[in-house]
Structure 1
Amino acid sequence: MFFVSDIYTMPPDKLDTILQKETYRVLQSLHIPFERVDTDEAITMEDCVQIDKKLDMKMVKTLFLCNRQQTAFYLFITAGDKPFRSKDFSNVLGVSRVSFAPANLMEKMLGTKIGAATVFSAILDKDNAVQIVFDKDVLAEEWYGCSDGITTSYMKIKTEKIIHDFLPFVKHIPTIIEV
């Protein structure tokens, strides 16, 4: 049985990473309300089904991608149940074919490990080395469900707060695509 805690509206008592600490600091400074749960380690979208039910929302799928030379990086945020096709993503953006970025770059650039990729990594991306790309379908949802930077803590926030408050604050202008 996959564990999902009660719903909380405050940060966890123990913050495990720099990204997780900064995520809650920024949310509080911007007065962005959230609901969150603690969970067993969730790595796949299948793991997120119970989290979705508890928080009454749909978890996004966040993919860290790069070109072959590892000189262009993308954080692609799409619907959790939508299949990812590298060719379609590359064609829509007009870039060379992308693939999943290596785990070591994910930890170095995003401050997360596999399974915890999150839009909140933009906090750490001070040089805008990572282009934030949203699937248009995500913007149609009232709620945005994602990791807070670790694989055992997930949150629900109004999508408009991510787009209109959080991303401008961290100086990232998202690209919106339809795939």
Structure 2
Amino acid sequence: MIQEVEKEVYKVLDELNIPFSRTEHEPTITCEEADKCMGHLTGIPSKSLFLTNKKKTDFYLVIMNGNKPLKIKEFSPLVGEKHVSFASEEKLVEYLNLKPGMVSVFGLINNKEHDIKVVVDTEILEREKITFHPNINTATIEISVDDMFRFIEYMGNPLIKVQFP
């Protein structure tokens, strides 16, 4: 059953003519839990992380292969920062209106100021499809990687493509 919080995601995907596949599952918090619920979806599982700089003035939505760890000390210089860390749950709610375990590219729908920088690992470019939670952790949807970039462009957030260590 589609939850209320998902409806805005599907509305935008429909506006952009972005096809998707959806699988319902038990609530998941970690990438490992989500991987077990993928069902028929074949896209690369994504890991979406919400990070901030030391002064908490810049925020980053990091999108990467869900099976790859983020080496945060090596990541920081890739975005021109000396130090980044995970943003607090309060900032996650304030900027993306999401809770931990529900972070995905679709949270950008709630970032009306378009001030979150989206950082995508170029490794994802090697794949055709990618999976995300649709702003709720009881479903996973699959879209093409190209459509993910169309969605990000439509949202109007700055995009940074870098090769993660």
TM (norm. structure 2) is 0.93
Q: Distance in 1 between matches of 2:2 and 2:24?
A: 11
> Which residue matches 1:177?
162
- Does 2:3 correspond to 1:14? yes
Aligned to 1:64: 50
Deviations for 1:30-72, whole angstroms, at most 9, x for unmatched residues? Answer: 1111001111111111102223353122210000000122111
What is the CA-CA distance between 1:172 and the residue it aligns to? 2.2
Q: TM-score, normalised by structure 1?
A: 0.86
SS at match of 1:109: helix
Contact (CA 8 Å) 2:115, 2:157: kept in 1 or not? no
Please show how residues 1-179 of structure 1 align to structure 2 within 5 Å.
Answer: 12-15=1-4, 17=5, 20-163=6-149, 165-179=150-164
CA distance in 2, matches of 1:62, 1:48: 12
CA–CA distance in 1 between the matches of 2:2 and 2:87? 32
Aligned residues of 1:77 and 1:133 also touching (Cα < 8 A): yes
How far apart are residue 173 of structure 1 and its match? 3.7
Identity %: 30
CA contact (8 A) 1:147 1:155 kept: yes
Q: d(CA) in 2 for partners of 1:42 and 1:158?
A: 22
TM superposition outliers: structure 1 runs of 4+ over 3 Å: none
Contact 1:52 1:58 in 2 (8 A): no
Aligned residue pairs total 164
Task: For 2:52 and 2:126, locate their aligned partners in 1 and report how far apart those are by CA, in whole Å.
Answer: 26
Distance 1:27 1:104 in 2: 27
Q: Which runs of 5+ in 2 are unaligned?
A: none
